Structure 1
Amino acid sequence: METNHPRHDGAPAAEVHPVDQIRPVGTLFLFAVQHILVMVAAPVSSVFLIAKALNLSDALSSALLSSVFVFCGLGSILQSVGIGRIGVRLPFIMLPGGAATILFISIAQGTDLQTAAGAVILTGIFYILAVTLFVRILKYFPPLVIGTMVVVIGISLVKVTGLLFTGRPGTEHFGDPRQLLLALVTIALTVLCFRFLRGFLRQLSVALGLVGGTLFAMALGETHFISLAAGPLISTPTLFPFGMPHLDLVAAIPMLVWSLASMAEATGQTVINGEIVGREVDPPRDVPRVIRSDGIISIIGGLFGTPVMVTSGENIGIVRASGVRSRYVTAVAGALLVVIGFTPLARMLNGIPPAVVGGTAVVVFAIISVLGIQMLARVDFTRTGNLVTCTLALALGLLPVLIPGMYHSLPANVQTIFGSGVAMSALVAVLLNLLFHHCGARDRDDLAKEPDAGPQARPADYRI
C-alpha cells in the first residue's frame, strides 16, 4: 500500500512509489524467502553441472557453490539498491547464466579451468565496454520486438524447468509418474492458495505451494535433507580456486558472442520488469545500469571461479504473482543469499526435490510469457510489417527451443546465436523491424494508417 509522508511545512509529501517502499522486516523476510525458493535450483544445478562435467573434488565443489550463492546475493543487492549508474534499482535477482554455464564447461574441456575463468572475466569486461555501443541501437527495440522476446524467454524457461520433473527424453526415468505427481501437486497447491487465501498469505502463494509440495514429497520419501547437512559448518568462497585465470581472447569468443544475446535479453527483462512494477523504464538509461552490474559481478565472480552472472528474469513472475513490487524485497533476498553461501543451507536447499522446484517454476515462468503476450496486445497487427515481424520472430525463435540441436552442423560461434531461442527471436525481430519501419518507405498498410509518418520510428516507440 502506498503511503504519504508529511513534509516539515505541513503539506503532504509525494507518494512513495511501491518500488521504493520499505516494508516491515517480517514481511520483507518472508517475501525474500519466496524469491530464493524459486531461484535456488539455478545456482545449485549450475555448480552440479560444472562439478560433474569437470570432475571437481568435493572441497572445490563446495567452495564453488559458496561463491555462486555469495555473488548471486551481491548482484541482487547491487541491482536492487544501485550505486550511481550501476544497478537499475528494480526488484531483480542475479543468477549464473544457464547458457553461460554450458559455455564455461565447454571452454574448460577444450582448454583448462584457468582459461574458462579468464573467459568469464573477459566477458564481464566486454559487458562494460560494449554497453556504450549497445545503447545506441535500443531505439530498434520497440514493444513489438521486446514483447516477442519476452514470450520466447518465458517459453524457453518453461521448457528448461519442465525437464526437472519430466526428465530428459530417452533417459530411463523420463516421465516418471512419481515425479509428475510431485509437480502436479505443487502446481495444484499453488493455484489453491491463489484462489482461497487473501491478503498477505495470498501474496506468498508461490512459496506456500512449494513448501506444500516439499512436505508431500517428504511423505513419499523423496527428500534427503539430512544427508545433505553433512559437511563443513562454514563454507567460504575461494580466490583463484582453479589457479590464476588465463585471459585468452580467442578461447573466450563463444562466450563473448553469447553476451550480445544476453544484453538483448536484459533489455526485454528490464522493460517488462518496469511494466510490472509500474515504473517507466528508459532503456538508454536503465539497460546500461543492468548490464554494468552484470559485468562487474561477473568480473569479480570470475576471480572466485563462478560462471558469468546475469540478472535473471526468473523472479519477474514472482513479482507479478505476489503483487509485491518493493526492490528492498530482492535486496533482502540478496543479503540472505550471501548468508546462505557461508552456511550448510546452500547444500541443504538442494534437498528440495527437483520436481517440486520445477512445478513451482513452470507457474512462475509461464507468467512471463503471458506478460509478453500482454505487451504484444498493444501492437497494431493490422499493419503488415508488425504481423510479419512477430510471426517470423516467434517461429524462428521457438524452433531451437522446440527442436534442440537443429543447428549442430553449423560452426560453434554460429550455433551460439542461432541455437538460442531468445537470441534468434531478437535478431529476427530487430532486422524485420528495420526492414519494415526504418528502411525507405513503409509498407502500404502502414502508410495508409499513418499518412504523416516519416521513415523513422518515433523516439518513444520503445518505451512502455
Structure 2
Amino acid sequence: MAAAPRFRKDAVATPQGSGETGASDGKHPVDETLPPLRMFTSGLQHVAAMYAGVVAPPMIVGPALGLSAKDTAFLMGASLFTAGLATLLQTLGFWRIGAKLPFVNGVSFAGVTPMIAIGKGEGDDALPIIFGAIVVAGILGFLAAPYFGKLVRFFPPVVTGTVITLIGVSLLPVAFNWSQGGNATAADYGSMKNIGMAALTLVIVLLMRKFLRGFLQQIAILLGLVAGTLIAIPLDMTSFDALRNADLVGFPTPFHFGAPQFQVAAIISMCIVMLVCMTESTADILALGRIVGRPADERTIEGGLRADALGSALSPVFNGFMCSAFAQNIGLVAMTKVRSRFVVAAGGGILILLGLCPVAASVIALVPLPVLGGAGIVLFGSVAASGIQTLAGAAMEKGENALIVAASVGVGLIPIAAPQFYHAFPEDLLVVLDSGISTGCVVAILLNLAFNHLGGRKGAAAAPAPEPVGVLH
C-alpha cells in the first residue's frame, strides 16, 4: 500500500482570511477546527448545497411506488438523517472506515430508476424488498472496498482530470433544471421569472465573492441563497406549506415500512448500483484529495468506500436509501477554500437534526429551486474548472493523453447531450450507461491502460501528478 503523501506547507497556502491557521500548529488544513460560529455557518452552507439532492430521490421514488404524501415526507426526513450519519462516518471515521476528508454523503441518484423498477407491482412489500437489497449490496461493497482501494495507481492526472471535469459537467444540467423551476410539467417551468431569479442569485453570489472579504466571502453561497430567498418571497416563489404542516419532532422509526425482504433479482440490481456508486466515489475522493492538498492514497480510498458501503448498509434500518458521495459539495470546498473535515462533520450533525426535526428541515426547503439553481451553476462549474486545472498538469503533449481525454469526455457526455442514446439497451445496463461519470471513468481507465501501460509503453504514461494546488484560484 502506498504511503500517504507528505503535506508540504508551501504547496497548499492557506487563503488569506480563510479563518484557518495553516501550518502554524503543524496541522493540515483538513484536520483543523474553526471557531464554533464559522463551523456552524460553513457546515450549514454544505447542507444548503446538498439539501435538494438528498430529498429529491425520495420525492421521486415515494409517489412512483404509490406512497402517500405523509409517507413520502417520512422518507425525506429519513434520507436527511441517514445522510448525516454517512457524512459523519466519512469525515470523522473510526478504525479504517472513512476517508477523513471534507466529504459529504447522501442518497445516490443512481439507485432511483432501479428502485422504482424493483418496487413496481410489489404493493406494501416494495420498500422492504428495496431495503433488503440495499443492505446486502452495502455489505458486499464493504467487503470489496480494499480491492477498489488498490485502483489508485490507475488514476493518473489524465484520468482524474477527465473524471473531475465530467463530474462538474454532469452536475450542471441539475442546476439548469433547478433554474427553470425543477418540475418540467409545471406551467411556469422555464419561465423568465424562474430563470431571472436564478440569474439574479448567480449575480449576487459573484458580487459577494468579488467584494466581500474573509469569512463573509467564504459563505457567499449561503448569503446568496438567503438573499435570493428573501427576494423570492414577495414574488410568490416561496411556499410555506411544508413549514406549516411539519411536526416539531419526528424520529425515523427503524423498519417503519416493515422488516427487509431479500429477493435475488433486486439484490443483483442494487449490487450493480453499488459498483456504480463505488466507481463515482473513487473519482470523487481523488478529486477532493487534490483540491484540499491531500492526495488520496489506497488507504484513503479504501476507508472512503468502506464508509459509503457501511452507510448504505445501515441506511435501510432508518428507512433510507443507498448513500454515496455528493460531488456538488466538492465544488463548494473548492470555491470557499475551507478544507476542514470538521466543518463538513458539523454539516452532518445539522443533517441529523433536520432528520429529527421536520420543522427545521422545512426551513431549508423554503429556498426556491431557481435560487438554488443560480448558486448551483457556480458550485458545479467550480468542479469542472478543478478538473481542467488537473488536466493542465497531465502532460497532454506526451503519448496519447489528448486522445484519452477526447474519447473519455466524448463518451461521458453522451447521457447528458443525448439522454435517449441507450434507450434500446437492457434496463440493467442503463444503471451504468446513464451515468456519464461512470462511463467516462471506465473509458479513461481502459484507454490509459491500453496506451500508457500495456505493450511496453509505460514510460509514455501521464506525467506525475502536479504539486497539490489545494483549491481553485
TM-score calculated relative to the size of structure 2 = 0.89
Pairwise CA distance, 1:254: 2.7
Q: Distance in 2 between matches of 1:385 and 1:3?
A: 39
- 1:314–1:365 CA contact under 8 A, matched in 2: yes
Q: Distance in 1 between matches of 2:184 and 2:22?
A: 52
- 1:139–1:459 CA contact under 8 A, matched in 2: no
Which residues in structure 2 correspond to 1:300-339 (within 5 Å)?
Answer: 300-339=314-353
Aligned to 2:441: 426
- 1:2–1:15 CA contact under 8 A, matched in 2: no
Aligned to 1:2: 21
1:105-128 CA distance string (max 9 Å, x none): 222126422211112112211211
- 1:265–1:422 CA contact under 8 A, matched in 2: yes
Aligned to 1:133: 147
- 1:114–1:245 CA contact under 8 A, matched in 2: yes
Aligned to 2:34: 23
Which residues in structure 2 correspond to 1:47-446 (within 5 Å)?
Answer: 47-109=58-120, 111=122, 112-166=126-180, 167=182, 172-225=187-240, 227-282=242-297, 284-343=298-357, 344-442=359-457
**For the aligned residues, what is the CA RMSD?**
2.2
In structure 2, do the counterparts of structure 1 residues 153 and 224 end up closer, same or farther at CA, with 3 Å as the change threshold? same
1:40 matched to 2:51? The reply is yes
AA of the residue aligned to 2:190: G
- 1:165–1:180 CA contact under 8 A, matched in 2: yes
In structure 2, do the counterparts of structure 1 residues 194 and 321 end up closer, same or farther at CA, with 3 Å as the change threshold? same
Q: Distance in 1 between matches of 2:184 and 2:383?
A: 25
- 1:54–1:109 CA contact under 8 A, matched in 2: yes
Return the index of the structure with the highest Cα Rg.
1
- 2:393–2:466 CA contact under 8 A, matched in 1: no
Q: Distance in 1 between matches of 2:60 and 2:240?
A: 20
- 1:123–1:252 CA contact under 8 A, matched in 2: yes
AA of the residue aligned to 1:93: V
In structure 2, do the counterparts of structure 1 residues 156 and 458 end up closer, same or farther at CA, with 3 Å as the change threshold? closer
Pairwise CA distance, 1:242: 2.2
Q: Distance in 1 between matches of 2:296 and 2:337?
A: 18
- 1:229–1:348 CA contact under 8 A, matched in 2: no
**Mean Cα displacement is larger for which, 62-71 or 188-197?**
62-71
In structure 2, do the counterparts of structure 1 residues 80 and 309 end up closer, same or farther at CA, with 3 Å as the change threshold? same
Pairwise CA distance, 1:462: 11
Pairwise CA distance, 1:308: 0.4
In structure 2, do the counterparts of structure 1 residues 248 and 325 end up closer, same or farther at CA, with 3 Å as the change threshold? same
Q: Distance in 1 between matches of 2:229 and 2:186?
A: 24
Q: Distance in 1 between matches of 2:466 and 2:277?
A: 18
Pairwise CA distance, 1:172: 4.5
Q: Distance in 1 between matches of 2:300 and 2:183?
A: 38
Q: Distance in 2 between matches of 1:102 and 1:241?
A: 22
Q: Provide the secondary structure at the position in 1 that maps to 2:454.
A: coil
Over the matched positions of the two proteins, sequence identity in percent amounts to 33
Number of equivalent positions: 444
Pairwise CA distance, 1:66: 2.0
1:195-220 CA distance string (max 9 Å, x none): 11111111111111111111111121
Gaps in structure 1 of 5+ consecutive residues: 6-13, 443-452
- 2:229–2:366 CA contact under 8 A, matched in 1: no
1:411-456 CA distance string (max 9 Å, x none): 11222222210111011111111111122133xxxxxxxxxx658x
Q: Distance in 2 between matches of 1:134 and 1:28?
A: 32
Q: Provide the secondary structure at the position in 2 that maps to 1:40.
A: helix
Pairwise CA distance, 1:273: 1.1
In structure 2, do the counterparts of structure 1 residues 227 and 172 end up closer, same or farther at CA, with 3 Å as the change threshold? closer
TM-score calculated relative to the size of structure 1 = 0.90
- 2:114–2:431 CA contact under 8 A, matched in 1: no
In structure 2, do the counterparts of structure 1 residues 370 and 16 end up closer, same or farther at CA, with 3 Å as the change threshold? same
Gaps in structure 2 of 5+ consecutive residues: 1-19, 469-473
- 1:143–1:375 CA contact under 8 A, matched in 2: yes
AA of the residue aligned to 1:109: K
**Mean Cα displacement is larger for which, 176-185 or 42-51?**
42-51
Q: Distance in 2 between matches of 1:213 and 1:50?
A: 29
Aligned to 1:449: none
- 1:406–1:419 CA contact under 8 A, matched in 2: no
- 2:158–2:391 CA contact under 8 A, matched in 1: yes
Q: Provide the secondary structure at the position in 1 that maps to 2:265.
A: coil
Q: Provide the secondary structure at the position in 1 that maps to 2:106.
A: strand
AA of the residue aligned to 2:21: E
In structure 2, do the counterparts of structure 1 residues 383 and 458 end up closer, same or farther at CA, with 3 Å as the change threshold? closer
